[in-house]
Structure 1
Amino acid sequence: GNITYAATYTYNGQTYTIPTSGGALNINPTTGLITGKIPASYEGDFSVTIIANSSTGASASKTIDYNLMSQADFNAIEVIGPRYGAYLLAQDIGDNLMVGVGDDDILRYDFLKTGKGVIADLNEATVDKQNGYVDSVDGYKEIVGTQYDDIIIAKDGVQTNVNAYKGNDLIYSSSGGDIIVGGDGFDTVSYERSTGAVNVDLLNQNTNWGFAQNDTLVGIEALEGSKYNDVLKGDNANNTLTGGAGSDKLYGNGGNDTFIIDENDSIVDGGSGYDRVMITDDNSYNGNHISFAGAYTVGASVDVSGIEEINMDNKSYNETLHITVKDLIGSSEDNIVRIKGDLVSDFDGAYTDDNVQIHDKTAAEINNADRGTTTYQGVRYDVYDFGSEGKLYVEYGLDVLDASGNQV
């Protein structure tokens, strides 16, 4: 009694109502399967649309296209109603039509065995099961993901409860002050859709500004910022923090963290643990010209501390990382920073990709540093020992440039 249904069919540009009596439209209350008959004879293409409306005002619809030569039976539309109390269980196969009838309805995909995660957009009221079927859903404020890698977009304007369940999931927060539980796996909350800057602290469970306002995050390992000036802080686990566009401030706290930055970010603080800065094609607007504190400015300056590894991962040639040793090398990991590049040889067999330019050192100072080579985690490095300033490990094959830009 909480859900009512209607049906139409469209032929030759005209839409007609299918009667809900006389056997033209039948809904099985046990299976949720809708069957019916077109009350006319047609040749060619036509479509049938089923509309489900709940007493709370939620509505969803599903359209199936047909091509039959005579009066047509239709049986390819399944409606799943509240047959399991407040739990609405999606099916593996079929385009399901699901409508919530109350504030406590939960849309559950944790029983799916398709081998693929879902792409659930609660604003568009669709769940793509990535197996050829797309569910139409409406009226839900709570969703449970699959055991695979899901993408879930929370519904704007209301508090959405997201339980990502298992897998490495990506959850987009909304404007509603959401409760997001990552569950098992390495889970990411993205504020890319936020209309303002966000301030998120995983360690102290503080969420402020923009779409992060009043969010509750549990079991989240990674954060993605907005296009504004964000503040993102990790916890004591291994986090990945991506600032996105804007002048962002990223703090790792404990754990072995990864920072994905662009030239606009202003602060990167790794905290304790073995931390990495990743510079990729996607976030390097000006090549790999990222200037750290005290270095010559190319684009912008980034204050970096507590970082043990810098990884340049682009697919371009002759990119340069500009650093100043005295400002880059901090007190962690015995004053060692490892710089890795994307080494691809040219037709002569020479490496021509990435360069490291040391802005506070002349060629003589670099050449006079204690030199050697070492292998760490399977990567071979040239070692430059600058005494009290620390050791710089540069991946073997990368060109090292002095302050004037000349190759050492």
Structure 2
Amino acid sequence: LGGADTLIGGLGSDTADYTASTAGIIINLEAGTAAGGHAEGDTLTGIENLTGSAFDDTLTGTDAGANTLNGGVGNDLLDGLGGNDTLIGGLGDDIFFVDAAGDQAIELVGEGTDTVRSSVSWTLSDNIERLELQGVGNINAVGNILDNTIVGNAGNNTIDGGLGNDTLIGGTGDDIYVVSSSGDRIIEVAGEGRDTIRSSVDWTIGANIERLELQGTGNLTGNGNTLANTVGGNSGNNILRGGAGNDTLAGYLGNDRLVGGEGKDTFVFNTVLGSNNVDTITDYNVADDMIQLDKGIFFGLAAGWLSAAAFHIGTAAHDASDRIIFNSTTGGLFFDKDGIGGAAATQFATLLTPGLAMNAGEFFVA
């Protein structure tokens, strides 16, 4: 109990138990030092495990070996240092420091609001609410079923809130956010990299985020912000809106509705053509916008701006060179892989803007 004690562990796994301490304790097993409460003045050698008091404790393990640190009651700080450590918070708002994938942070239901600070990629275990990535490494974070707050570090992080209505804060670096709930919230500050949202629900990009990629097969809606956004669809029938800014919209698979909005927008076609993959562009503007064609899909087209000989306005190709056909009556855009040869043209888009003066200069092959 009280007094400046010397604790020396023997063979096996030894535990120093300070449950009876009448005040919080600070113990560092690596340094062998102790302070506070019944630990005041103690020295510890060869001790692997610690049990804290009913107060606010700071428990630190060793650089080598696997420690078990049990904070008990109180708002505790637990840091296992090296090795695959087991950190048990107990009742109170605890902070766990982890630096190995084999570490364990353990909390039970109703034991407070707890935080993991990790210098390695980490998935929150049950009953822990907050995760903060440390350092500058490109590491990743995954939440649990609670309403988590997850904070990135200075690296390029992938942050997945998991279930629940999560708050995701990337920090500096080019971060990727994975969201699955409309109640999720993403926070980015200006100048903190080029960031991407991967969403399996309808999503509108918030401030200071550049890219949105819809996931899954659902018929989702994706909206940009005032920046130059890239907005990509999934395999469903999506509605994609660029908003203000010079945006790039790619519907991918499905019959998608693309709304460029203000700015000089690019509409990308880079998936297999077919009747179930015809996009509608609602507001194409010849003066500002362009259409980008994937040369791996639009076979035979040379990279760069489409040649005048490969473009034709009409209902069908009129010579062997015609590849992109624009029906000015219906707004239909077609690809004909052999001009007036035997293969039928395939529609890939419909332009709703009336009276468009389309020409080869509207198309870029990449």
TM-score normalized by the length of structure 2:
0.55
Q: The residue matched to 2:186 in structure 1 has which SS?
A: strand
- Paired position in structure 2 for 1:244: 215
Q: Pick one of 147, 161, 164 that aligns with 2:149.
A: 161
Instruction: Answer yes or no: is the 8 Å Cα contact 2:15–2:49 preserved in 1.
Output: no
Pairs within 5 Å for 1:249-328: 249-278=221-250, 290=253, 300-306=254-260, 308-312=265-269, 319-320=272-273, 328=281
Q: The residue matched to 1:259 in structure 2 has which SS?
A: strand
Deviation at 1:234, TM superposition (A): 0.9
Q: Pick one of 316, 322, 345 that aligns with 1:362.
A: 316
Q: Pick one of 79, 86, 93 that aligns with 1:104.
A: 93
Q: Root-mean-square deviation (CA), in Å?
A: 5.3
Pairs within 5 Å for 1:135-174: 140-146=128-134, 147-156=136-145, 158-174=146-162
Instruction: Answer yes or no: is the 8 Å Cα contact 2:259–2:281 preserved in 1.
Output: yes
Deviation at 1:172, TM superposition (A): 1.6
For 2:203 and 2:231, how far apart are their aligned partners in 1?
Answer: 10
- Paired position in structure 1 for 2:205: 234
Deviation at 1:120, TM superposition (A): 10
1:186 counterpart = 2:160:
no
Instruction: Answer yes or no: is the 8 Å Cα contact 1:169–1:182 preserved in 2.
Output: yes
* Higher relative strand content: 1
Q: The residue matched to 1:144 in structure 2 has which SS?
A: strand
For 2:233 and 2:141, how far apart are their aligned partners in 1?
Answer: 24
Deviation at 1:77, TM superposition (A): 1.4
Instruction: Answer yes or no: is the 8 Å Cα contact 1:26–1:36 preserved in 2.
Output: yes
Deviation at 1:362, TM superposition (A): 3.4
For 1:351 and 1:145, how far apart are their aligned partners in 2?
Answer: 47
Q: Unaligned regions of 5+ residues in structure 2, if any?
A: 2-7, 17-26, 33-43, 55-63, 108-115, 190-194, 328-353
| Residues 253-262 or 94-103, more deviating | 94-103
Larger Rg: 2
- Paired position in structure 1 for 2:66: 77
In the alignment of these two chains, the number of paired residues is 271
Instruction: Answer yes or no: is the 8 Å Cα contact 1:343–1:351 preserved in 2.
Output: no
For 2:357 and 2:106, how far apart are their aligned partners in 1?
Answer: 53
CA offsets, 1:319-368, max 9 Å, x none?
4388989x52725683422314155999xxx6699x99999853359689
Deviation at 1:304, TM superposition (A): 0.6
For 2:269 and 2:104, how far apart are their aligned partners in 1?
Answer: 34
1:218 counterpart = 2:187:
yes
Deviation at 1:274, TM superposition (A): 1.7
Q: The residue matched to 1:76 in structure 2 has which SS?
A: coil
Q: Unaligned regions of 5+ residues in structure 1, if any?
A: 2-19, 38-49, 57-74, 200-206, 285-289, 291-299, 370-385, 399-408
For 1:23 and 1:136, how far apart are their aligned partners in 2?
Answer: 34
For 2:248 and 2:104, how far apart are their aligned partners in 1?
Answer: 33
